[in-house]
Structure 1
Amino acid sequence: MGDTVLPDQTQQSKRDRAQQVAQALDLLEAGNSKRDVLDALSLMIERAGLGIGDSLPPEVQIAQKLGVGRAKVREALTAWQNMGIVTRNKKAGTRLAAEVWSNSIHMPVTLKLEAESLLRTHSVRRPLEIETSRLAARYANDEQKREIYRRVLELMRIYDAGGDWRAADYEFHRALHEASGNPLFGQLIRQIQQGFNEIYETPFGQPHLGQDSIPLHLGLADAVIANDENAAARITDEIMNLVEQNVREIMETYNG
């Protein structure tokens, strides 16, 4: 027969864990950005040994310990919520919904969390982008096809010149979303990506992550203009695969 855990023992355990978390938070400093706050919290979670289901300190306590405004903490935790890292409600507070610790001595916990957040976001975005391309190939009218081709030529011009192609890439995909005939695709994709981009504007310090996929965009535009749904879906899948491959390669450089 196993040992019975008494209520007072449970309460003592909770108090000990709260003290452990507070001590870990005391050791940290944070800058003024949401990413600074989340990087500090990532280290706190790892040092305190928190796991899925464990509670984070209240917003007020985090703000006081890190010397930032409560609004900044709330914005940062909301971004984590949007990425599926925490759950939040008034009664239960903020609880971890994903592991926030590094299983590698080489890869910092903050970088590991960034990579896993990007992969999680990417896995949700992939089927939406594939279906968007398929529908754009089916429904795009002549005016929309001209806009898609104009956008891809601008994207390729900037890419070939070695410029910052991110804005042009966004406009190209937005043209595809509009041509799909269903505005929800674009809205959902932007919402999914926004949570990540609010914190990690330049993933891993590389603003052009996934640039190996850019040359494929010309073939994607051609497939949509030719009303080739299968080719459009296939090329979009290849594009998404290349982005994911880039992320995993970066992770492997740390893990050896």
Structure 2
Amino acid sequence: MDGPVTLARATHVSRDVMDDLVALIVAEGIRPGDRLPTELDLARRLGVSRHRLREVLTAWTRVGIVSRNKGAGTVLAAPVTGRTLHLPLTVTVEAESLLRTLAVRRPLEVEAVRLAARDASPAARDRIVARMLDLMAQHEAGADWRAADRAFHAAIHDSTGNPLFGQLITQLQRAFDTIYETPFGMSHLGSDTIPMHRALAEAVVAGQGEEAATLMTRILDDTEAAARAVMEGPQ
């Protein structure tokens, strides 16, 4: 991964409000399980409208940073710390959100490729190969391959015959994308895993479920390692 680490642009959520909220949480020593100040108080202290603040809190709820309910208010659910001193605090939060998302996706993705290898119809196998070839072409051309990657994995999810795989994984991805357009400002984070997708498609099409599961695990491991490398910085 070349180039400097930069903050990702927010797609639907105001980045400056996130920055200020993270700084407030760190400055006040709020820990997981602690209740945050009320929305009214937070909005006043951050100098923003309650609407903009609520957008951030709603997005954070979707990726597990906070939990919210009418009786208990807003409670911090995951650590927000300043321990990664070489990065802006929001990048640390972003990385940890991505890692939590990957942890939930992992068993779903691995089981999906295993079932696809077993149950995919001939037409579904053809679609998987077609989507893989499109992904390879986008990647080799140096184009933005992210949409092709999503289409490839969606073809695998669809081929299982169980729509819940695609629905749940899409919900997880959208929850993360609500806050971050690109992880750490790197639109091609995980690019090094793309060549493995050819072998993954070949294993699924050949009905080699365990080989497909092993390759999917390697892809997820490498993506997680890339995220951790950003968090840890130069050694």
TM-score, structure 2 normalization = 0.90
Counterpart of 1:224 (choices 186, 190, 204) is 204
Task: Give deviations 1:215-256, integer Å, cap 9, x for gaps.
Answer: 0011111111111111111110111011011111112216x4
CA RMSD of aligned residues (A): 1.6
Task: Give deviations 1:52-108, integer Å, cap 9, x for gaps.
Answer: 222222223333444444333223212211221111111110011111112233233
Q: Which amino acid aligns with 1:81?
A: T
Secondary structure, in 3 states, of the residue corresponding to 2:75? Answer: strand
Counterpart of 1:62 (choices 42, 47, 52) is 42
Equivalent position of 2:9 in the other structure: none
Equivalent position of 1:47 in the other structure: 27
Stretches of 4+ aligned residues off by more than 6 angstroms: none
State the distance in 2 between where 1:126 and 1:44 align.
32
Counterpart of 1:94 (choices 74, 92, 112) is 74
Paired residue total: 224
Equivalent position of 2:5 in the other structure: none
State the distance in 2 between where 1:40 and 1:211 align.
31
State the distance in 2 between where 1:135 and 1:193 align.
21
The higher relative CO (CA closer than 8 Å, separation ≥ 6) is in 2
TM-score, structure 1 normalization = 0.83
Structure having the higher Rg = 1
Give the unaligned 5+ runs of structure 2: 1-11
State the distance in 2 between where 1:64 and 1:58 align.
10
State the distance in 2 between where 1:148 and 1:125 align.
20
1:172 aligned to 2:129? no
Identity %: 51
Secondary structure, in 3 states, of the residue corresponding to 1:198? Answer: helix
State the distance in 2 between where 1:199 and 1:104 align.
20
Give the unaligned 5+ runs of structure 1: 1-31
